[in-house]
C-alpha cells in the first residue's frame, strides 16, 4: 500500500480549499454548522447533568445524535465534492443521503464490535481482580481499565479514519467498506496518527480562538446590547461556524489521503 506524505496532502488540501471554497463553504455552514450547534448543545447538557446541583432535561443530551448524523452526512458529501469531478453541491448531498444508510450500518457494526471489546476487557479485568483478591471497584483499577479500553478503540478509530470517504465514493456494503478502509490504513498507522495529531493541534488553536477572541467579543456584545441571552447565542453560532469550517477542512484532508492511497 502506497504511503502518503502529511505535508504533501496538506498542500493539496489548502490548494483545493482555495480553489473550491465556493462549493465547500455553503456545505460547511449548512450541514456542519447545525451539526456543531446540536453536538455542542448536547455535550454541554450531558456535562451539566453530571453536576450535582443542576437539573437538565435528559432530551437535551440526545442532541448529539442528530448532530453526529449531520456530521456524517457532511463527511460523505465533502468526500464526493473532492473526489467526484464536476459534481455539484446538490448532487453531492443527494448522493450522500443515498449512502447514509450504509454509513449508519457500518457505524452500528463498529459500535457492536467496540461494546464486545469493552465487555471482554471488563470481564477479564474483574476476574483478574477477584483472582488476585483486589477490589474491582478500586479507582486505580478503574483508571487502568479505562486505559485498556481506550487503546484498542483508539487503534480501531485510526485504522478506519477513511471509512466515511470509502462509503461515499465506493459502491460497497457496510462490511466491505470496513474491510476496504482497514486495508487502506495498512502500513500507515503512524501517518494516520500524525493526521490525528494535526487535527488535535488545529482543535487546540481553534479552542484558544473561541476562548479569547470569540469569548471577548461576546462579552463586549453583552455590555453593548445588555442582552446576555442574545450575546451568548451569537457567540455559540460563531463558535459553531468556526468548528464547521475545521470539520469541513479535515474531511477534505481525509479525502486527499484517500486519493493517494486508493491510487496505488
> Most confidently modeled of 46-55, 203-212, 221-230?
203-212
81 lies in a domain?
yes
How far is Cα 153 from Cα 146, in angstroms, rounded to an integer?
11
Query: Which helix (DSSP H) or strand (DSSP E) does residue 18 occupy?
Result: helix 6-19
Domain, as residue range, for 122: 6-262
137 lies in a domain?
yes
Looking at the 3D structure of the chain, how many domains does it have? 1
pLDDT at residue number 47: 74
User: pLDDT per residue over 170-193, tens digit each?
Assistant: 999 999 999 999 999 888 888 999
Average pLDDT, the chain: 88
53 lies in a domain?
yes
| Gyration radius of the chain over CA positions | 21
1 lies in a domain?
no
How far is Cα 247 from Cα 93, in angstroms, rounded to an integer?
16
pLDDT at residue number 87: 92
Where residue 118 falls among pLDDT bands split at 50, 70, 90?
A: confident
Residues 6+ apart with CB under 8 A from 250: 199, 202
pLDDT mean over 115-119: 87
pLDDT mean over 208-216: 91
- CA-to-CA separations, 67 to 35, 121, 226, in angstroms, rounded: 4, 30, 31
User: Between 138 and 223, whose confidence is greater?
Assistant: 223
- CA-to-CA separations, 262 to 132, 155, 162, 164, 258, in angstroms, rounded: 49, 21, 11, 14, 6
pLDDT at residue number 170: 95
Residue 20 has pLDDT above 80, yes or no: yes
pTM: 0.89
22 lies in a domain?
yes
User: pLDDT per residue over 232-253, tens digit each?
Assistant: 889 899 999 999 999 999 999 9
90 lies in a domain?
yes
183 lies in a domain?
yes
161 lies in a domain?
yes
86: left (phi over 0), alpha (psi -120 to 50) or beta: left
pLDDT at residue number 57: 53
pLDDT at residue number 110: 94
pLDDT at residue number 108: 95
Residue 1 has pLDDT above 60, yes or no: no
Amino acid at each position: 500500500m502506497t504511503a502518503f506524505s502529511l505535508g504533501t496532502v496538506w498542500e493539496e488540501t489548502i490548494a483545493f480549499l482555495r480553489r473550491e471554497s465556493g462549493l465547500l463553504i455553503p456545505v460547511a455552514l449548512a450541514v456542519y454548522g447545525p451539526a456543531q450547534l446540536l453536538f455542542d448543545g448536547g455535550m454541554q447538557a450531558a456535562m451539566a447533568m453530571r453536576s450535582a446541583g443542576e437539573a437538565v432535561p435528559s432530551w437535551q443530551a440526545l442532541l448529539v445524535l442528530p448532530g453526529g448524523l449531520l456530521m456524517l452526512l457532511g463527511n460523505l458529501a465533502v468526500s464526493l465534492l473532492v473526489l467526484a469531478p464536476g459534481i455539484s453541491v446538490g448532487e453531492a448531498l443527494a448522493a450522500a443521503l443515498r449512502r447514509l444508510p450504509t454509513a449508519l450500518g457500518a457505524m452500528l457494526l463498529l459500535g457492536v464490535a467496540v461494546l464486545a471489546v469493552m465487555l471482554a476487557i471488563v470481564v477479564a479485568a474483574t476476574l483478574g481482580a477477584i483472582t488476585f483478591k483486589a477490589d474491582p471497584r478500586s479507582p486505580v483499577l478503574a483508571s487502568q481499565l479505562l486505559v485498556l479500553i481506550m487503546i484498542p478503540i483508539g487503534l480501531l478509530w485510526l485504522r478506519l479514519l477513511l471509512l466515511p470517504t470509502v462509503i461515499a465514493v465506493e459502491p460497497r456494503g457496510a462490511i466491505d467498506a470496513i474491510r476496504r478502509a482497514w486495508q487502506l490504513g495498512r502500513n500507515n498507522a503512524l501517518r494516520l496518527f500524525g493526521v490525528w495529531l494535526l487535527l488535535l493541534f488545529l482543535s487546540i488553536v481553534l479552542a484558544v480562538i473561541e476562548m479569547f477572541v470569540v469569548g471577548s467579543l461576546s462579552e463586549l456584545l453583552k455590555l453593548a446590547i445588555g442582552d446576555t441571552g442574545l450575546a451568548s447565542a451569537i457567540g455559540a453560532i460563531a463558535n459553531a461556524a468556526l468548528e464547521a469550517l475545521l470539520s469541513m477542512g479535515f474531511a477534505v484532508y481525509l479525502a486527499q489521503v484517500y486519493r493517494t492511497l486508493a491510487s496505488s
